[in-house]
Amino acid sequence: MTLTGDLRQRNCTTLFTEIHTSHSDKYYLRIENQGFKSTATCDPLQIHVRDSAWRPSVQISGSLREQQTVVISCSALTPCPDAPPVLSWSLQQTPAHSLLPNPDGTVNSIIQQSLLLSEEHHGLELLCSALYPVRGGYKEAKTTMTLTVDHSTHLQARRRTTGQTARGPPGTSPSMRDNPRPDPLQRIGT
């Protein structure tokens, strides 16, 4: 166990190493300094030790429309910044991770990648994996998300700019049958 920071400024952290599920219990702050001894019995800290990894989260910033660039993030809680989880995902490359402090004092590991969306990304399953180092190996947790890319806005804009119009026999309404690119939703049967 290591105490870091400055207790006088009320800014300190205790780092527990070699902790096991059997260590789940109530803990009390005890100060011993030059003969002075005091235990904060009125304010115990309940610690729950689990033997599993935290599930990472996948977030997408931006609009899921064809021809739009979005930023996809995979992040995972990082209880030990000195030994962060290894993040990876199903996209072509896994960028270097960075540590992101949260307002509550915790830390997340995060990887991000920009992606220019096309109709091929519709239905793409993103898999984000967090591999936590533990004594004797690793614990892994995964999260998946399926992309739903809207292509209708792009299709309508393309029709306006190219000046294409749909014409049918006299007395009938125009239809989208002359669309050179079918709706991906119809193609995959959803």
Do 57 and 102 contact (CB within 8 A), yes or no?
Answer: no
Mean pLDDT of 56-69: 90
Are 122 and 184 a contacting pair, CB within 8 Å? yes
Model confidence over 18-60: pLDDT tens digits?
Answer: 788 898 999 888 888 899 999 989 989 899 887 788 899 999 9
Contact 151, 184 (CB under 8 A): yes
Domains of the chain by range and CATH? 2-47 (no CATH), 57-146 (2.60.40.10)
Angle at 153 (CA atoms; ends 148, 145), nearest 5 degrees: 10
| Buried/exposed 71-82: b ≥16 CB within 10 Å, e otherwise | ebbbbbbbeeee
Q: Which helix (DSSP H) or strand (DSSP E) does residue 6 occupy?
A: strand 2-6
How far is 81 from 51, CA to CA, in rounded Å? Answer: 18
pLDDT digits (tens, 9 = 90+) for 119-170: 888 988 999 999 998 878 899 999 999 999 987 654 443 333 333 333 444 4
**Model confidence at 1, in pLDDT bands (50, 70, 90)?**
confident
Closest by CA position to 90, among listed 127, 140, 121, 60:
127
